[in-house]
Homo-oligomer: A and B are copies of this chain.
Amino acid sequence: MVMGNRAPNKLEWRINVRNGTSEILQPESGLVHRIWSWLKGLLGEFMLKIWNFLEKARNIAVAEPKKVIHCLKVGVTLTIVSLFYYMRPLYEGVGGNAMWAIMTVVVVFEYTVGATLYKCINRAIATFLAGSLGVGVHWAASHSGDKLEPIILGISVFLLASAATFSRFIPSVKARFDYGVLIFILTFSLVSVSGYRVDKLIDVASQRLSTIAIGASLCVLICMLFYPIWAGKELHNLIHRNLEKLADALDGCIAEYFTDSSAGDSCKKIGGYKCVLNSKAAEDSMAGFARWEPAHGRFNFRHPWKQYLKVGASLRSCAYCIETLDGCLNSEIKAPEPLRRHLSDACITLSSSASFLLKELATTVKTMRKSSEIDFSIGEMQFAVLKLENAMKSLPNHLVATPSSTSDRDAKAEPIRKTTTPSSVMEILPLATLVSMLKETAARIKEIADEVNELAKLADFKPPNTKKASQSQSSNQVDEPSNNEERTKGLG
């Protein structure tokens, strides 16, 4: 390398060329160019981020147009409320307090009708209560002398704010009146303190209340009349979608294990149970809001929303089991082929009858119509459990038979060869786990069915559509229509 005749303290980029010497790589341009390209890169990165963000927003809008409609509704409501400021006659009627109408709309307008009603009702009641209390305290303070007045007001603000803030930690208050308590503190402080300056306190308070009422009722009207999104219906949909997801996951999980297929589509289906695992928070909040909603669609005012939470809890409990099952199936060394083949039919029968039951439950919830097939399906599933147990019991004999190519299953008299060597137990292990987990899953699905039946009773679902039920029953069990009745009698 030719280095000697150069200034040593200058940074250079060199490249080796073919004839053995090296060439200095000249920077293409000066500082300005570098800064420019750096800025260009930064700008490009920024544009890319913006683009990705817009792409994400577009995907959400396409997937859930309801959300776009909600946004338009908020925009329309806010624009209408602004009329209170623009139009002179209204302005003089409502006064400078029109600001409170805008604030109410921004704060109160929520995605679902239930949430909007919850906030409106809480806001209205809390404002009224805190306003009256504030006026009372202010009256008491103003009659106790100039020196005592600020002290009484200060102490009352301190005590009420502390107590109200503490009440927000109590679960029953938090679930129903969290927002109301916040507004209570706010209004009480404003009214009791502003009373020190403003003489016409009651006038101001009533004006403010009327503005809030105008804003709130506008919100409720627009929220309920144009494409209403009911928290109750969302909860209802969530529950029956989760039932379907569990059915798909269970089916996919077992099918994948026994058929060795791992197509992307089935993987996606199996992953559905993961949504079920984390749906508690969504269910709780929706059930909380649904309580505030009036009768809508097929739901009465006193629809048993709490029972949906119980169904949801039993769904999650089943999802835990499927999660573990999925984990065990993927992590275990697979059982030898003949063993798997022996149990494959029984396992697939059980998983498909269980997932059929889950789908039937999903349909029951979805259509809000009792199904005559549920009891039958439960019987079917429990029969499949028995069949699986029998298949498991016949396993060792089968195991003995496998070395010889003929499958003489009832060779009981034959002296047992090295069947029970240590390795064979370890070979049974994954299958034993599978069987136990399937049994446990079936037991938990039975619990889901019980909760759904309870829901059907509480919510007074329509009686089953007997004609359709008998049709689908005969089409589902074409192969053995004669002994179905017998089996359900014996097991259900």
Contact = CB atoms under 8 A, between A and B. Distances in A.
Interface of A: 53, 56-57, 60-61, 64, 67-68, 70-72, 74-76, 78-79, 82, 85-86, 91, 99, 102-103, 106-107, 150, 153-154, 157-159, 161-163, 165-167, 169-170, 172, 182, 185-186, 189-190, 193-194, 196-197, 277-278, 280-281, 316-317, 320-321, 323-325, 327-328, 331-332, 389, 392-397, 399-400, 416, 419-426, 428-430, 432-433, 435-437, 440, 443-444
A196 B88 CA distance: 11
A420 B395 CA distance: 9
Contacts of A396: 420-422, 424-425
Given A53-B170, A277-B320, A392-B429, 7 more contacts: A79-B154, A82-B189, A328-B440, A392-B426, A400-B420, A416-B419, A425-B428
Given A150-B86, A393-B425, A159 B75 contact: yes
Contacts of A154: 79, 82, 86
B150 A106 contact: no
29 contacts: A53-B170, A64-B169, A71-B162, A71-B166, A74-B161, A75-B159, A76-B158, A78-B185, A78-B189, A79-B158, A82-B153, A82-B189, A85-B196, A86-B153, A86-B196, A99-B194, A102-B189, A317-B327, A324-B324, A392-B426, A392-B429, A395-B425, A396-B421, A397-B422, A399-B420, A416-B419, A416-B420, A429-B435, A433-B437
Contacts of A429: 392, 432, 435-436
A193 B57 contact: no
Contact of A393 (B153, B182, B422): B422
A163 B324 contact: no
Contacts of A190: 99, 102-103
A145 to B, nearest CB: 15
Given A186-B106, A320-B323, A158 B75 contact: yes
Contacts of A82: 153-154, 157, 189, 193
Interface centre among A169, A197, A421 (most CB of B within 10 A): A169
A432 B428 contact: yes
A450 to B, nearest CB: 15
B170 A60 contact: yes
A440 B75 contact: no
A422 B396 CA distance: 7
